[in-house]
Amino acid sequence: MKTSAPLLLALLALCACGYREEGTRLHLGLDFRPAGDVHTQGSTREFLDDRGDRIVLRRAHVTLGAMEIFPCQRSSAWKWLRALSPIGTAEAHSEGSPRKLGTPYVVGLTLADGEALALGTLRPPPDSYCRVHLVFAPADADAEGLGTQPDMEGKTLVLEGERIPADGGPTVPFHLETSDVINAEVSLEGLTLSPESLEANRTLHLAYDQWLDGVDFVATGGSATNQILSNLARSVSLQP
C-alpha cells in the first residue's frame, strides 16, 4: 500500500514528538544546607538564631508531600490557570504526572549537611520551566523514610532541642510539632528541556538554621508552629 507524502511526514513528526517527550528527564534531590555557621555533632546541630540565642537542635524531621514544576508564563491567563492547580491540598500520595512528584518523603538531620537525597525523576514535555511548587504536608503510612521515623506518620514537622538565651537566662527545652500544611515556591530560573538539552539536575536546599527565627517558644494557640512553617517555606532554595 502506498502512503502519501503528507501523511508520512505527519507520522514521522508525531513519532519524533513522542520520542522527545519520553527522552526528557529532570532529576530532583533534596539536602539540608544551613545559611550560616553551624556546629555539627552526629545528628545534632548548634547555631545562633536571629536574636543571638544559641539553638541546640537535636531532632528535625519534615515531610515533603509533593512537588510540581510549571512552564514559564506566556499569557495573562496564567494566574487563572495557576489557581486551578491541585497542588496545595493535604492529600497524601497525590497522583503523579510527568511534571509532578506525588510521593511524600520524610527527611531529617540524620542526613549530613549537603548530602543529597534523590527524590525522583520527572519526564516533562520539552519546554522552559520557571518555577517549582512544593507542599509540606503530613506523612501517610506509605511515605518514604517513615520506616526509620514511624512517629512522623500524620505529622508535617517535628523539632526537638534546647534554646540557650543570649542574655544568660536558663536553658529552655522545646518539642514542637505540627500537622498543618505549608506551600512554597522556588524559581527554576528558566530551566529548559529540549531535544538539544534532554536532561537536567536540580537539588532543593533546606536551611534549617532559619526555622526558629522569631519563634516565641512559650506562645500558645499554634503561633510558634505557624512561624516555623512560614520560616520553612522561606528557607527553601534550589540550585543545579
Q: Is pLDDT at 80 greater than 60 in this prediction?
A: no
CA distance 1 to 122: 40
Q: Is pLDDT at 21 greater than 60 in this prediction?
A: no
What average pLDDT does the segment 139-163 reach?
Answer: 95
pLDDT for the residue numbered 217: 79
The residues, ordered by sequence, that sit 6+ positions from 239 with a Cβ below 8 Å of its Cβ are 202, 203, 205
Q: Is pLDDT at 126 greater than 90 in this prediction?
A: yes
> Taking the model in full, what pTM does it have?
0.81
The residues, ordered by sequence, that sit 6+ positions from 94 with a Cβ below 8 Å of its Cβ are 65, 66, 86, 100, 102
Give residue 173's pLDDT band: very low, low, confident or very high (50, 70, 90): very high
Percent of the residues in the chain that have a pLDDT greater than 70, as a whole number: 80
